[in-house]
Amino acid sequence: MEDFIFSDDRVLLERHGLASFEALWDLRLPGIDAPNLDRGGWSEVSRLALEGRAYYLKRQRNHLTRSITRPYGEPTFVREFRAIKRLRTLGVPALDVVFFACRRLPGKTPRKVDECAILLTRALDGWRAMDRWLAQWETLSGATRAGLLAACGKTARQLHASGLTHGCFYPKHVFLREADGGFEATLIDLEKVRPAYLGRRDRQRDLDQFFRHASALGESEADALLAAYLACAPENAEVADWRKRLSKRRAKKENG
């Protein structure tokens, strides 16, 4: 896959000598969390600030995902970059990619080659993950709650209307900020995005993941989110039908 650099940030990166894979790979920055050592490799995220602009620099080595079409695996950032491009082309809100590149670098032995990748994205400063809003749910006004629920439901609708599912649709992966008297949302952690092969079942899986991690929501609030998702009134029979299906799915899963 070819290297990508967003034109609006190219000059800034070039000014700091950071417009290449090699420069970003060798940059010494502390990780914001402990490295992810799953999948037989490592993956780390660092924060990068340049002249008032903030980014997240994500680097990984041999952190691979495998599929039927790629049985030997590919870096998870490759899959995430591909998903972000697809979502943005389809008009689904997703984080902004500034730089992407992957390389095969020498491994620990002469015959060993490591799969390495870099994904540089703009920091979502001014945005907050939905799980953080939920942590203070009781202190929020009714209007704020309604705006947040409407934005989450609308974004889920946009995603599913594009024929895709998130695959990890937790509140912590939906970021929101105030906009035009309400809220707008954007999606992160997109490496598991895939077509909704199973139709409604896949869409229900996304929503079930969200609600299972949003215990602060009451039944009427869950209905409000579903109504925004279905683009109808909360009293609509379709909302009750989806709530019933989601409850049945959860009970089945909890009972094994």
Domain extents for the chain? 4-122, 128-254
- For the entire predicted model, the pTM comes to 0.93
Check whether 59 has a pLDDT greater than 80: yes
Residue 19: band (very low, low, confident or very high) from pLDDT cuts 50, 70, 90: very high
Predicted confidence at residue 108, as pLDDT, reads 74
Sequence letter at residue 195: P
List pLDDT tens digits, range 87-129.
Answer: 999 999 999 999 999 999 988 777 688 999 999 999 999 999 9
Task: Give the distance from CA 70 to its chain's centroid.
Answer: 22
DSSP string, the chain: ---EE-HHHHHHHHHTT-SSHHHHHH----BSSPPB-GGGSEEEEEEEEETTEEEEEEEEES-EE--SS-TT-EEHHHHHHHHHHHHHHTT--BPPEEEEEEEEEE-SSTT-EEEEEEEEEE--TT-EEHHHHHHTGGGS-HHHHHHHHHHHHHHHHHHHHTTEE-S---GGGEEEEEETTEEEEEE---TT-EE-TTTHHHHHHHHHHHHHT-TT--HHHHHHHHHHHHTS-TTSHHHHHHHHHHHHHHHHHHT-
Q: Cα–Cα distance between 68 and 150 in angstroms, integer?
A: 37
Type of residue found at 21: F
CATH of region 128-254: 1.10.510.10
Q: Which one, of 47, 59, 53, 77, lies nearest residue 23 by Cα?
A: 59
Statement: 4-122 belongs to CATH 3.30.200: yes
Tens of pLDDT, residues 128-145: 999 999 999 999 999 999
Residue 27 Rama label (left phi>0; alpha psi -120 to 50; beta) = beta
pLDDT for residue 242: 97
4-122 and 128-254 agree in CATH topology: no
